[in-house]
Amino acid sequence: VKQIDVKKVVQRALDHIIGSLSKGETVELRNFGIFKVKSRKGRMGRNPRTGDAVPIPEKKVVTFKPGLIMKQDVK
């Protein structure tokens, strides 16, 4: 298999994962892990230069939970 073909297949798979996550869907890759989109609550932060309180808005973040086989192999 040519490297360019592998690169295209991997890129298409990643594009599908990103597309699903952007729709708020959970993506599970068996024996690898689970990608989820979660909301991070808004909070108050501080400007490090001035010390002023700055509101940090709520936002969505991607989380990853490794699968059991990955956890065992990484140990």
The amino acid sitting at 73 is: D
pTM across the whole model: 0.75
pLDDT of 24: 94
Is pLDDT above 90 for 1?
Answer: no
Nearest 5 degrees, angle CA 25-CA 12-CA 6?
140
Backbone angles phi, psi at 18, to 5 degrees: -65, -40
Mean pLDDT, range 61-74, rounded to an integer: 94
pLDDT of 38: 97
Q: Which domains does the chain have, with CATH numbers?
A: 3-74 (4.10.520.10)
For residues 55 and 43, what is the distance between their CA atoms, to the nearest angstrom?
6
Is pLDDT above 90 for 75?
Answer: no
Kindly report, residue by residue over 10-46, the tens digit of the pLDDT. Answer: 999 999 999 999 999 999 999 899 999 999 999 999 9
